Amino acid sequence: MKIAIEEGQDKPLLADGRQHVTITDIEEGTSENKGVPFFAVRFENETGYVSHRFYQSRAGMSNIVSLFERVGIDVQAGDELDTKQLLGKELDITVGERSYSDPNTGSERTLKQAMDFVVS
């Protein structure tokens, strides 16, 4: 098997704390357990990266709106947002860990993710 490594894939996860980053990639998907649509954002700088999923659910919409507004994209009721607008935007994030119980196994899992988004 041949495995191609794309630029940036050799970077480690970002250290915890505040980081100045650029949004370098967005992937769309559906959650494994409940079928909720999401987009995963790759926040990256010269020292590393972290990915964060934004779920398109009633509970997740405030996070989505916050991200768009923090990078300078005005959001109004009735708007249709395009995640491609986020590519190349810079902002400060706070990186941290979040633990949760895996619904399939019941075991505790820990994720490193963006915890807060701040316009730089």
d(C-alpha 87, C-alpha 62), whole Å = 19
| Residue 53, in any domain of the structure | yes
- Specify whether the CB–CB gap between 102 and 31 falls below 8 A: no
With beta carbons less than 8 A apart as the criterion, state whether 96 and 113 touch: yes
- Do the domain assignments include residue 58? yes
pLDDT exceeds 80 at position 6: no
Residue linked to tokens 């998907």: 29
Q: Establish if 65 belongs to a structural domain.
A: yes
Structure token pair of residue 21: 């980053």
Tally of CA atoms within 13 A in the half-sphere of 13 that contains its CB: 14
* 51 backbone dihedrals φ, ψ, rounded to 5°: -110, 150
Given this model, what pLDDT does residue 67 score?
Answer: 94
Q: Which domain holds residue 108?
A: 17-118
2 domain-assigned: no
Strand-pair category, 37-45 with 48-55: antiparallel
> Considering only CA atoms, which of 44, 80, 72, 35 is closest in space to residue 52?
44
Answer whether residue 15 shows pLDDT above 60: yes
Give 6: exposed, middle or buried? Use CB within 10 Å, 0-12, 13-18, 19+.
exposed
Yes or no: say if 98 and 111 are a contact pair by the CB < 8 Å rule: yes
Is the confidence at residue 95, as pLDDT, over 70? yes
- Digit-coded pLDDT (tens) for 65-78: 999 999 999 999 89
Total domains in the chain come to: 1
Which CATH number does the domain housing residue 80 bear?
Answer: 2.40.50
51-65 pLDDT, tens digit per residue, is 999 999 998 899 999
Q: Is residue 87 domain-resident?
A: yes
Confidence label for 120 from pLDDT (cuts 50, 70 and 90): very low
